[in-house]
Amino acid sequence: MLGAIVGDIVGSRFEFNNTHRTDFELFTPECGFTDDTVCTVAVADALLRGVDFGPTLHSWCRRYANPMGAYGGRFRQWVASDDPQPYFSFGNGAGMRVSPCGWIDGPMDDVLEAARQSAACTHNHPEGIKGAQCIAECIRTLRDGGGREAVRAVATTRYGYDVSETCDEIRRTNRFDVTCQVTVPQSIVCFLESTDFEQAVRLAISIGGDSDTIAAMTGSLAEAFYGIPDAIARQALACLTQEMRDVVIPFIAQRPIQLIR
């Protein structure tokens, strides 16, 4: 899940100011964690403590009410509500926060059910749940020794996503889009073309669109396959608050995560 946080932080300054280059500086004073990181940490916290995703997500997002990049309109209303209910979203918020579920130990069904639950408290549209489950299953597939072609097969055969485009092809026509249907396969393509963790994040940002979220999803896959260089991990952790580090560091130390039933 630190891979998702790295992607979010590095991509944060490009979310509304896209670049098509890959030779940008990774971390600058303009970078910071966004709603993607807040929600990812919340999912990790729920898994560590064995509590429900919805109330944990609600609590974290209320504490970080105005993150860089801001929450989407309906999600902001969900955070503000004293009785938050799912709102049938298929936005990529489901995919951006799910990566901790990919580090669950045990059968794949446990991973998929956790991914479903992590999405369904807000994004209970079938496409929202599908996006979350695809990212989580790809992470687990990579952890279990599968490679790029195994991920391609998961995306296409299990979830029906088209991952046949190249990054160059996506880059030429890409527009800002926050749906799982568009951004989840894009993030997988960026991973498939990469040769190391850093390049995966750079490719994800370079295709434009919802840069931080695409990079978060790509980063979560790349972490499971390549690992994260120590220098990059340290820089990302330094961008977080102490209470975030108090979740992220134990999560990394304890994974694979044993579900508390």
Annotate 109-167 with three-state secondary structure. HHHHHHHHHHHHCCCCCHHHHHHHHHHHHHHHHHHCCCCHHHHHHHHHHHCCCCCCCCH
List the one residue out of 76, 93, 13, 67 whose CA is nearest residue 240. Answer: 67
- 28 among annotated binding-site residues: no
Q: Are 113 and 104 in contact (CB under 8 A)?
A: no
- 210 among annotated binding-site residues: yes
Q: What is the DSSP letter of 178?
A: -
- How far, CA to CA in Å, does 68 sit from each of 15, 102, 125? 10, 26, 26
- 241 among annotated binding-site residues: no
- 82 among annotated binding-site residues: no
CA atoms of 1 and 36, how far apart (whole Å): 11
Q: Which amino acid is at 233?
A: A
Identify the bridge partners of residue 179 per DSSP, sorted by sequence position.
91
- 34 among annotated binding-site residues: yes
Residues within the annotated binding site?
A: 34-36, 210, 212-213
Residues within the annotated binding site for Mg(2+)?
A: 34-36, 210, 212-213
